Amino acid sequence: FEIIIRYDACVEDLNNGNLVLLIGSFDGLSNNIHQVNIGEMEYGLFADKNNPLLQRKSGKVTFDELYSEKFIDFKFHGKLGIEVKSIFNKNGKFLNTILSYSQYDLVAKALIDTEFLAFIPVGLVNTEELSKIELDMTLPKGKCYMYWHSVMEKDLFHKYLRNSFVNMSYF
């Protein structure tokens, strides 16, 4: 049993039975994949507590203000993360992504003592040293699922892990 981070071929590996659990919201799943809804997820825009956007007195940050900022990105977003990014990457405008990580906690840590911004799932990552930036718009919310391949359906240890995770899920 090994816990690994998301990677480019994680959905393909799940479809082929090479990955036993995947958490998030994904397209491209085969008929061999089972799923259970484990809660609703939302993204927030986070920054270091001393970020200039948090120090200003003019209220919520506007859509257009974000294009002049620098972003740290999570490399392997599921459907909801892609939807959030697509809101901003329109009409030939794109957010200025300067760095990408494959772990959300690395994204959060990289914001500390910088002026960079990042979209991070609310409640799933330690953001105690960060502040959430209030936007003048509402970001989409979506369901979060736990997926597993049918080859694991009757495995008792796997079933125990799935049920335990669902029972302790708080988001």
Q: Looking at residue 135, what is its pLDDT?
A: 92
Q: Looking at residue 167, what is its pLDDT?
A: 81
- State which CATH number among 1.10.290.10, 3.40.190.290, 3.40.800.20, 3.30.70.120 fits the domain covering 41-140: 3.40.190.290
Q: Looking at residue 103, what is its pLDDT?
A: 82
Start-end of CATH 3.40.190.290 domains in the chain: 41-140
Q: Looking at residue 70, what is its pLDDT?
A: 96
Q: Looking at residue 93, what is its pLDDT?
A: 87
Q: Looking at residue 133, what is its pLDDT?
A: 94
**Dihedral of the CA atoms 125, 131, 134, 137 (nearest 10)?**
-30
Q: Looking at residue 77, what is its pLDDT?
A: 63
Start-end of CATH 3.40.190.10 domains in the chain: 10-39+143-168
Distance (Å, whole) CA 27 – CA 128: 32
Q: Looking at residue 69, what is its pLDDT?
A: 95
Q: Looking at residue 92, what is its pLDDT?
A: 82
Block means of pLDDT (10 residues each) for the chain, length 171 residues? Answer: 62 87 85 90 92 84 91 77 79 88 89 95 88 90 88 90 79 53
Q: Looking at residue 5, what is its pLDDT?
A: 60
CATH 3.40.190.10 correct for 10-39+143-168:
yes
Secondary structure string (H, E, C) spanning the chain: CCCCCCCCCHHHHHHCCCCCCEEECCCCCCCCEEEEEEEEEEEEEEEECCCHHHHCCCCCECCHHHHHCEEEEECCCCHHHHHHHHHHCCCCCCCEEEEEECCHHHHHHHHCCCCCEEEEECCCCCCCCEEEECECCCCCEEEEEEEEEHHHCCCHHHHHHHHHHHHHCCC
Closest-CA residue to 119 (of 42, 7, 24): 42
Closest-CA residue to 21 (of 145, 144, 124, 146): 146
Distance (Å, whole) CA 130 – CA 50: 9
